Amino acid sequence: MDYSIETAPLEELQCDCIIVGVYQDQQLSPSATALNNITHGLVNNIVSRGDLSGKNGEAVLINAVPDSKIERILLVGLGEHQPLSAKNYKKALLAAVNSLKKPQIKSVICCLAECDVTDRDQQWKSRHIIEVFNDAAYQFTQLKSDKETESQLQKISISSTESEQALTHSGMLQGKAIAEGMNLTKHLSDLPGNICSPTYLAEQAVELSKKYASLDVKILEESDMTALGMGAFLSVSRGSRQPAKLITLSYQCGDKDAKPIVLIGKGLTFDAGGISLKQAASMDEMKYDMCGGASVLGTLLAVAQLQLPLNIIGLIPSSENMPDGDANKPGDIVTSMSGKTIEILNTDAEGRLLLCDTLTYAERFNPDVVIDIATLTGAVGVALGRVAMGVLGNDDALCNLLVASGETANDSAWRLPLWEEYQEQLKSNFADMTNSGGKDAGTITAACFLARFAEKFRWAHLDIAATAWRTGLTKGATGRPVSLLIQYLINRS
Ligand code: BES
Ligand code: MN
Ligand code: ZN
């Protein structure tokens, strides 16, 4: 995708489609007004005869524009004539981009950065246009014979005044970096488990570090993990023929002595549940159990592009969780790297077994904060649906910053409590703890488990099990929470 800024007056423009906003009660945005003048009242005609009421989420494509190098006009409803909420802005952008899925439309000029959005500046609007357009244009075609995509968008120009050009430009660069990060995240997530194995993920991390000189990679093999005593992690991978990997990416562009931000992403390339085998229905979706790991890769790609002045360590523990003669059995007791023992009541609660050893491993980086991102529990979808991801952690300030970053980025996150009463549910008669807190408050007890391995630093956990992909007809990865994480990192830099 090619991104650019357009500052020339409308009458000089040339494109397959121009996108302009219309408010309710037939009130035109500045560019809609300008376009109306050039086209001798075409826009007003459409609006006054009622073809577009201006409600947010509406869109009408005018596919013939007489005497103009603009081939089409897309009128987008913005709602009441007042500043839009960030969510309504996104809704309008989505309506726009969903009307562009036609092979003839390859280049568009978007004039929606001129709309006022509450508490958001030009930079944010420019960034958001690119994020939303890129997201909608993404399609997974690698494994289809017919590579034709619904959307053929190749060029997006954001219309801007000259005085706002600098902000439009920086927003565009942010948007482009986030877009590329999300595309990588989505692509790796959409790949099936027979291709995207732990070894494949590790290779992708190596590729990324070849592409960006600021990224260094190190892969720990199972033998290295044995030496470190990662008994919880290795107990999961023992049930799989694919060798496990612990991927470390390091990005050191901050102050030499600034403590790093550690991002840990769950990288289960397939989660069959192990001996506590999952049901057949939707089991294919467990190829997405590495979305957290993929979002760490996507985030680091964007960070490297933006050259943020930070120190960041990305850790991705990667394995499969399979039923096998050598797999974990319910009742097995394993010893984690921390020395704490864990009774495995349910072999399907494997994510925390990988994460607990990775959290202990993170201590050696002397982290400023540790944030883990994991498709950890189905229960988070019961609590928050597919709208917000869950945030839990041992540091109020960090949790609040993550929730606020999600709010800014339109990548919602909501905090759940981590009160010690919930720790009761992890009591074991035979070991220091169990790996499953039972049916109640599953997302919280999973985080309670992780908290026991995160006592030495400020830590937050993002449960993305319900937000990292869509089910049903539009099944596919969402690329979340790359934009939340980048927002947090931009705020920190
Ligand atoms: N990867 C799953 C979580 C998951 C479930 C993600 C559904 C997306 C959709 C995780 O490994 C898991 O199986 N969690 C169990 C934990 C339970 C056994 C304590 C769960 O959520 O059921
Ligand atoms: Mn599982
Ligand atoms: Zn899992």
pLDDT in tens, 113-143: 999 999 999 999 999 999 999 999 999 999 9
The mean pLDDT of the chain is: 97
Distance 353 CA to ligand 2 centre (A): 10
How do residues 333-343 score in pLDDT, each as one tens digit? 999 999 999 99
Residue 205 has pLDDT above 90, yes or no: yes
Q: Are residues 191 and 154 in the same domain?
A: no
List, in order, residues 6 or more apart from 89 with CB less than 8 Å away: 112, 115, 117, 120, 125, 128
Q: Are residues 132 and 230 in the same domain?
A: no
Q: Are residues 465 and 337 in the same domain?
A: yes
* Within-domain flag for 428: yes
Q: Are residues 415 and 485 in the same domain?
A: yes
CATH number of 215's domain: 3.40.630.10
Distance 488 CA to ligand 2 centre (A): 28
Q: Which atom of ligand 1 is nearest to the CA of 445?
A: 19
What local confidence, expressed as pLDDT, does residue 148 receive?
A: 86
Q: Identify the residue whose C-alpha is closest to ligand 1 atom 3.
A: 377
Residue 428 has pLDDT above 90, yes or no: yes
- The rounded distance, in Å, linking the Cα atoms of 187 and 140 is 7
Tokens for 189? 């997530």
What local confidence, expressed as pLDDT, does residue 236 receive?
A: 99
Distance 432 CA to ligand 1 centre (A): 22
Distance 325 CA to ligand 3 centre (A): 20
Q: Are residues 216 and 297 in the same domain?
A: yes
Q: Identify the residue whose C-alpha is closest to ligand 1 atom 17.
A: 349
Dihedral Cα 262, 263, 269, 272, nearest 10 deg = 90
Domain count of the chain?
2
* Within-domain flag for 449: yes
> Residue type at 7?
T
Residue 230 has pLDDT above 90, yes or no: yes
Question: 3-state SS of the chain?
Answer: CEEEEECCCHHHCCECEEEEEEECCCEECHHHHHHHHHCCCHHHHHHHCCCCCCCCCCEEEECCCCCCCECCEEEEEEECCCCECHHHHHHHHHHHHHCCCCCCCCEEEECHHHCCECCCCHHHHHHHHHHHHHHHHCCCCCCCCCCCCCCCCCEEEEECCCCCHHHHHHHHHHHHHHHHHHHHHHHHHHCCCCCCCHHHHHHHHHHHHHHCCCEEEEEECHHHHHHHCCHHHHHHHCCCCCCCEEEEEEEECCCCCCCCEEEEECEEEEECCCCCCCCCCCHHHHHHHHHHHHHHHHHHHHHHHHCCCCEEEEEEEEEEECCCCCCCCCCCEEECCCCCEEECCCCCCCHHHHHHHHHHHHHHHCCCEEEEEECCCCHHHHHHCCCCEEEEECCHHHHHHHHHHHHHHCCCEEECCCCHHHHHHHCCCCCCEECCCCCCCHHHHHHHHHHCCCCCCEEEEEECCCCCEECHHHCEECCCCHHHHHHHHHHHC
- Over residues 435-448, mean pLDDT: 98
Q: Are residues 206 and 131 in the same domain?
A: no
Distance 321 CA to ligand 3 centre (A): 8
Q: Decide: 389 and 380 in contact? Cβ < 8 Å.
A: yes
Q: Decide: 289 and 266 in contact? Cβ < 8 Å.
A: yes
- The rounded distance, in Å, linking the Cα atoms of 53 and 76 is 10
Q: Are residues 154 and 240 in the same domain?
A: no
- Give the number of whichever ligand sits closest to the CA of residue 272: 2
- Over residues 250-254, mean pLDDT: 98
Q: Are residues 83 and 216 in the same domain?
A: no
* Within-domain flag for 265: yes
* Within-domain flag for 176: no
Mutation probe of ligand 1 site: the residue of 377, 433, 434 with most atoms within 8 A of C-beta: 377
Q: Identify the residue whose C-alpha is closest to ligand 1 atom 16.
A: 349
- The rounded distance, in Å, linking the Cα atoms of 406 and 387 is 11
CATH number of 96's domain: 3.40.220.10
Please state whether beta strands 476-477 and 469-470 pair in parallel, antiparallel, or not at all (unpaired).
Answer: antiparallel
The answer, as to whether pTM is greater than 0.95, is: yes
- Give the number of whichever ligand sits closest to the CA of residue 273: 2
Domain hosting residue 286, numbered range: 183-492
Q: Are residues 152 and 195 in the same domain?
A: no
* Within-domain flag for 349: yes
What local confidence, expressed as pLDDT, does residue 150 receive?
A: 82
Residue 195 has pLDDT above 90, yes or no: yes
Mutation probe of ligand 1 site: the residue of 240, 376, 434, 480 with most atoms within 8 A of C-beta: 376
What local confidence, expressed as pLDDT, does residue 66 receive?
A: 87
* Within-domain flag for 331: yes
List, in order, residues 6 or more apart from 363 with CB less than 8 Å away: 456, 457
Q: Are residues 331 and 248 in the same domain?
A: yes
Residue 297's nearest CA partner among 207, 225, 407, 386 is 207
In angstroms, the first-to-last Cα distance of the chain is 27
Q: Are residues 212 and 134 in the same domain?
A: no
Tokens for 396? 């109020």
Tokens for 134? 């890129």
Q: Give yes or no for a cis peptide into 481 (omega within 30° of 0).
A: yes
Q: Are residues 154 and 190 in the same domain?
A: no
- Give the number of whichever ligand sits closest to the CA of residue 346: 1
- The rounded distance, in Å, linking the Cα atoms of 93 and 150 is 17
Q: Could you list the active site residues? A: 278, 352
* Within-domain flag for 174: no
Q: Identify the residue whose C-alpha is closest to ligand 1 atom 9.
A: 378
How do residues 346-401 score in pLDDT, each as one tens digit? 999 999 999 999 999 999 999 999 999 999 999 999 999 999 999 999 999 999 99
How do residues 278-298 score in pLDDT, each as one tens digit? 999 999 999 999 999 999 999
pLDDT-derived band at 149, boundaries 50, 70, 90: confident
How do residues 319-329 score in pLDDT, each as one tens digit? 999 999 999 99
Question: Which residues form ligand 1's pocket by a CB distance below 6 Å?
Answer: 271, 289, 346, 348-351, 375-379, 436, 442, 465
How do residues 10-64 score in pLDDT, each as one tens digit? 989 999 999 999 999 999 999 999 999 999 999 999 999 999 999 999 999 999 9
* Within-domain flag for 173: no
pLDDT-derived band at 241, boundaries 50, 70, 90: very high
- The rounded distance, in Å, linking the Cα atoms of 281 and 40 is 57
